[in-house]
Structure 1
């Protein structure tokens, strides 16, 4: 978790100390998370500050989405029918490559 927080701070031109001040945490609070279990409320505060999902901070798995909007889109995608999903994939390919997905035979 500490590694991801450092990365988010770096991407936002912010030090961990500055983040702690912005979130009204004590000095060194986040650095201690390398060896101690943080409270859920503090982790949520960091996630909310960076607009990321709490799970992104907690889990190392690459399939966890950093951005809440991306996560919401993925959830909506999962609720689609197979034919709707195929259409979405076709649109994605069209946007990326200028070529739609060819229908399966």
Structure 2
């Protein structure tokens, strides 16, 4: 995120503005923009800054100006190129395209949503690991249908009494 703040700072200097002035005029708290070096900014705030500075959101986010000659964003670096440049690796092997896309999308989420995603993935991981060991609820699902706890308790059991 520091590149984003650096691009904003360069634009501020070109326009002879300060962080404090922009933050004050946009109704942001003091130091909000500089905190974006460590925290992901909200999209609505980025849009306000881009509009205030009269630059494209593409420039602030990616460092590339989208011109009239490239209306479809041809100047924006491709996700594939970014992944190759960053060399995304986990456990010593490169991430698949799908894994890298998940990481890229995760990074674009606000912190609150990142926690929700992490909690969900962790939950799914735990269920998967427990499933391999045989967790208690598998006896009540289709996967555990073959599990019988005793004679006469399967799917074809008779309800007659002796």
Same-fold status (TM-score > 0.5): yes
Hey, what does 1:3 align to over in structure 2? 6
Any unmatched runs of 5+ in structure 2?
A: 75-162
For residue 52 of structure 1, report the CA deviation from its aligned partner: 1.2
Q: Which residue of 2 aligns with 1:57?
A: 60
Larger Rg: 2
43, 47, 63: which one aligns with 2:46: 43
CA root-mean-square deviation? 1.9
Number of positions where the alignment pairs a residue of Structure 1 with one of Structure 2: 70
Instruction: Describe the superposition over 1:44-73 as per-residue Cα deviations: whole angstroms up to 9, x where unpaired.
Output: 00111111111111114xxx21xxxx6224
Using CA pairs under 8 Å that are at least 6 residues apart, name the structure with larger relative contact order, 1 or 2. Answer: 1
Shift of 1:42: 0.2
Matched, 1:19 2:22: yes
SS for the counterpart of 2:36 is helix
CA distance in 2, matches of 1:33, 1:55: 17
Three-state SS of the structure 2 residue aligned to 1:3 is helix
- Counterpart-to-counterpart distance in 2, 1:52 and 1:73: 16
TM-score (norm 1): 0.60
Structure 2 distance, partners of 1:37, 1:75, is 27
Quick one: distance in 2 between partners of 1:58 and 1:28?
19
- 5+ residue gaps, structure 1, are 79-105
Say which SS state the counterpart of residue 52 (structure 1) adopts: coil
